[in-house]
Structure formats: C-alpha cells, structure tokens
Structure 1
Amino acid sequence: MEVEHGDVWEALRPLCARVMSVPPEAVLPHARLVADLGADSLDITELEVASEEMFGVSLKGTDKAGVSTVGDVADLIVRLRTTHAAHSPLAR
C-alpha cells in the first residue's frame, strides 16, 4: 500500500488552518508551526490528536524533535503510514 504525500498534504492543510485559526493559504510546507502560524502547546496537542484520528497513525513515542514545519508534519505522517502499511498482516 503506497501512501501519497499529496493526499496527506491536502488533508493536513485545512486541518492545520482550523486548529491554528489561520487562513488555509498561510499553511505552506515551509511554514513553521510556532513562529509562522502561532501555534502554542495546546494547538500542537490538538493537531497531534486530530492527525492520529484523520490518518490512523499514532504519534505517541515518535521522535518529534525535528518537526517544526507543516511539511515536517506531513513527512512524519507519511513515514508512519508507510511503516504501518509495511507491518500490516495484509501487506504480506
């Protein structure tokens, strides 16, 4: 099962806009969650929970140290979904 980065981006963009109360056009791959979009710790937590529900992945226990932009979030979700698909019993 191949995970399309574009599909993740198309779903993540409006989600970020809603959670951070910014216009969708402000949500760009290089936009920094805190510095550019004004996210606080509650916004980050809400984004994590909403992303887990929307994309069917668990962000718990993942290394989020290098995640600072919207593009980084999309990349992390794609990696997690790809890893999950590879370990799925149906993938064998």
Structure 2
Amino acid sequence: MDVEHGDVWEALRPLCARVMSVPPEAVVPRARLVADLGADSLDITELEAASEELFGVSLRGTDKGGVSTVGDVADLIVRLCAREARGPLVR
C-alpha cells in the first residue's frame, strides 16, 4: 500500500482533534501534542491505538523519541506504512 503524506494528514487531523478534545483547526503540523494540544499519557495511548486501527500499523514499540508534534506523528505513520509495504528485511 502506497501511503501519501497528505492522505495520512487528512485522516490524522480529525483523529487528533477527537482524541485530545480540541477543535480541528488547532491541529496543525507544528502543534505539539503535549504543550499545545494538552495531550496526556492516556491521550497518547488512545492515539496510538486509533492510529493502528485506522492506518494498519502499530506505533507501539517504535522509537518515538523525536515525536513531539502532530507532523512528527504523520511522518512516523508514513514511514511505518512504507516499511510495512516493503515487507520484512530478513526472510
């Protein structure tokens, strides 16, 4: 499955707004999950689970050290979808 960044963004924006109980217009690529959108650990967990269901990739167990904005989440999902499409590196 070839996933475009714009497609991920269009699906992720309303998802973040719902999970974090903020207006959709507050969800912009540079919005920080915690500092700007007020996400707590439960919100992050819910976002991970909803993203897994929506995009078919698991964010759990991935290195999220550099993920702090909504744009970072979108980038991570695109990378995971691309990796999933390539299949395992070792057969």
Q: Which residue of 1 is the match for residue 7 of structure 2?
A: 7
**Structure 2 gap ranges (5+):** none
**Structure 1 gap ranges (5+):** none
Q: How does 1:28-47 map to 2 (within 5 A)?
A: 28-47=28-47
Of all paired residues, the percent bearing the same amino acid is 84
- Give structure 1 regions of 4+ aligned residues with deviation exceeding 2 angstroms: none
1:26-76 C-alpha deviation (Å, 9 max, x unpaired) = 000000000000000000000000000000001122100110000000000
**How far apart, CA to CA, are the structure 2 residues paired with 1:18 and 1:37?**
11
* TM-score between the two structures when normalised by the length of structure 2: 0.93
Is 1:57 the counterpart of 2:57? The answer is yes
The residue type equivalent to 1:71 in the other structure is G
**How far apart, CA to CA, are the structure 2 residues paired with 1:40 and 1:79?**
24
Number of residue pairs aligned between Structure 1 and Structure 2: 88
**How far apart, CA to CA, are the structure 2 residues paired with 1:60 and 1:40?**
16
* TM-score between the two structures when normalised by the length of structure 1: 0.92
